[in-house]
Amino acid sequence: TSTFSSVSESLLSRYTPSQSHLNKKNMAIMVMVGLGLLDFLVAGVSLIIGLGFIAFIASILCATAFFNNAKDVS
């Protein structure tokens, strides 16, 4: 078992830096993808709020124009 442990320790010491480098690279890619998705999410929510505000103002203006031009039916 002593030979096995020394071989496994040498293999671990040999492959740990490259594995760590891959993990850091994968983590950086995942962070960039996550931030990109978060950016699209925030942009979509902002767009929905902005368009909702414009639709609310347009509905008030249309209702005002309708009530000013509508004739009484009696």
With 0.75 as the threshold, say if the pTM is over it: no
Query: What's the CA gap between 32 and 71, in Å, rounded?
Result: 60
In the chain, the amino acid numbered 64 is: T
- pLDDT exceeds 60 at position 18: no
**DSSP helix, strand, coil percent of the chain (3-state; round to 5):** 90, 0, 10
pLDDT tens track for 38-54: 999 999 999 999 999 99
Note the residue count of the chain: 74
